[in-house]
């Protein structure tokens, strides 16, 4: 075995703990480590690998575009960039007035969205609202939007004018007024433990922002690109936001982000007010189009909905005392546990050949590739049910000891 952990300690910035394994290869929903151990990937790089690993469409797009034109700077436009922008507008239903700004990540897309919010300003309109427990990124603007004091504290002071409120309708009603530039929300708060808003919350947020002249900006970095069973989560709420941010699944593993605007919000930026060197380059946008085209052509939204129902049914069939319920939509699901043992369950699942994660002490997050099959859901169910059964048995032994 190589000394990869020593190399991590010696060479990598200590912003993350050492990884669970040194992964060397992936195919479909499976990955392998340097020792040849195989894992079923039910996290997809945290909702990134829409088409799984080494999908032929992804490989072809990278190979062909890299051999043609990878990067040309923002002084020029390229066919892949224009194709992806038009495709995103069509899928999001922006109409002709919609516009797209390409970035390199979700945090960068949210930085662009925050600057867009500032453009909806005036001498008295100076506030941007987001939700406690939200996660919008770790760059300074995105971190100000992120409602997690533990992440913000080492980097205080935060950007002025950004405030958080509790994720309730009454708290939103109390917080919003004509001084608000924008309300920024995740349709599902993945990093908080796949938390849902109360029914009708986003619809009322749309009405309140419209009434007060504020923008409604939805962070669809984790929920977008088919992850919840529709192209974008906002479609399931019967609303049209002023802007959405995208990343993760858009590139299927290749770094890309986007800010997509609707209606009058598309006119807020003026030339020179925002930019990027790498964002929207030909290679990234060619891959993005290949991902979207494959999801569309292969009917993967149907697969998301079918596999989601299968996972829910499988979890219910375990009848485990450690499982309270499943929440989320599509293939962004959280298994609520009855004890704060999610981290231990995650480690035990990994040892048994299954990759999931624990975004909260009592929640297991599932975000498999959109290509996941019925047989792979059965394998997931068998492995995680077995892990939970062992934990339940251990709990019983301790209780009777």
Q: Are the C-beta atoms of residues 114 and 167 closer than 8 Å to each other?
A: no
Query: Biggest alpha carbon distance in the chain?
Result: 71
b/e code 392-401 from CB counts within 10 Å (16+ = b)? beeeeeeeee
Tokens 């669809």 label which residue? Answer: 220
276 belongs to an annotated ligand binding site: yes
**Residue 42 near residue 354, CB atoms below 8 Å:** yes
CA atoms of 383 and 386, how far apart (whole Å): 5
Residue 11 burial (C-beta neighbours within 10 Å; 0-12, 13-18, 19+): exposed
Residue 135 counted as an annotated binding residue: yes
Structure tokens at 263: 């209606």
- Asked if residue 106 belongs to a known ligand binding site, the reply is yes
285 neighbors 258 (Cβ within 8 angstroms) = no
Q: Are 197 and 167 in contact (CB under 8 A)?
A: yes
277 is in an annotated binding site: yes
**Assigned token pair, 362:** 């009592």
Q: Are 331 and 366 in contact (CB under 8 A)?
A: yes
Give the DSSP H/E element, type plus range, for residue 33: strand 30-33
Residue linked to tokens 């390229």: 78
With H, G, I as helix, E, B as strand and everything else as coil, classify residue 185.
Answer: strand
Q: Is 298 annotated as a binding residue?
A: no
**SS3 label, residue 125:** coil
Rg (CA), the chain: 21
Could you tell me the strand order of the sheet in which 180-185 lies?
A: 99-103, 257-261, 243-246, 215-219, 180-185, 127-131, 162-165
| 184 has binding-site annotation | no
Within 275-349, strands assigned E span: 323-329, 332-337
Annotated binding residues for N(2)-acetyl-L-ornithine, written as ranges, equal 138, 276
Annotated binding residues, written as ranges, equal 106-107, 135, 138, 219-222, 276-277
Annotated binding residues for pyridoxal 5'-phosphate, written as ranges, equal 106-107, 135, 219-222, 277
């Amino acid at each position: 075995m190589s000394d990869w952990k020593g190399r991590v300690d010696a060479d990598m910035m200590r912003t993350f703990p050492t990884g669970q394994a040194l992964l060397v290869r992936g195919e479909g929903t499976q990955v392998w480590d340097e020792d040849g151990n195989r894992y079923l990937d039910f996290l997809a790089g945290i909702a990134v690998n829409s088409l799984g690993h080494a999908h032929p469409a992804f490989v072809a797009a990278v190979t062909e575009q890299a051999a043609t034109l990878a990067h040309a700077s923002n002084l020029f436009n390229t066919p892949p960039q224009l194709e992806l922008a038009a495709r995103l507008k069509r899928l999001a239903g922006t109409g002709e007035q919609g516009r797209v700004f390409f970035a390199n990540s979700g945090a960068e897309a949210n930085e662009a969205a925050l600057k867009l919010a500032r453009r909806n300003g005036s001498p008295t309109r100076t506030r941007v609202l987001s939700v406690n427990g939200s996660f919008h990124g770790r760059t300074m603007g995105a971190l100000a939007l992120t409602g997690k004091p533990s992440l913000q504290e080492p980097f205080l002071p935060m950007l002025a004018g950004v405030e958080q409120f509790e994720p309730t309708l009454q708290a939103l009603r109390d917080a919003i007024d004509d001084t608000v530039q924008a309300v920024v929300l995740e349709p599902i708060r993945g990093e908080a433990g796949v938390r849902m808003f109360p029914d009708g919350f986003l619809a009322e947020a749309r009405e309140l922002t419209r009434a007060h002249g504020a923008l409604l900006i939805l962070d669809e970095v984790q929920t977008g690109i088919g992850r919840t069973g529709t192209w974008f989560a906002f479609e399931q709420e019967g609303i049209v936001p002023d802007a959405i941010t995208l990343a993760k699944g858009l590139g299927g593993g290749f770094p890309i982000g986007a800010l997509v605007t609707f209606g009058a919000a598309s006119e807020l930026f003026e030339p020179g007010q925002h930019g990027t060197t790498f964002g929207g380059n030909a290679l990234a946008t060619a891959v993005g189009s290949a991902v979207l085209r494959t999801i569309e052509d292969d009917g993967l939204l149907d697969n998301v909905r079918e596999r989601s129902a299968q996972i829910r049914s499988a979890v219910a069939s375990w009848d485990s005392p450690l499982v309270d319920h499943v929440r989320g939509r599509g293939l962004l699901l959280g298994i609520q546990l009855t004890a704060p043992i999610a981290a231990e369950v995650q480690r035990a699942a990994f040892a048994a050949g299954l990759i999931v994660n624990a975004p909260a002490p009592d929640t297991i997050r599932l975000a498999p590739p959109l290509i996941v099959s019925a047989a792979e859901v059965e394998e997931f169910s068998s492995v995680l049910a077995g892990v939970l059964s062992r934990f339940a048995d251990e709990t019983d032994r301790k209780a009777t000891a």
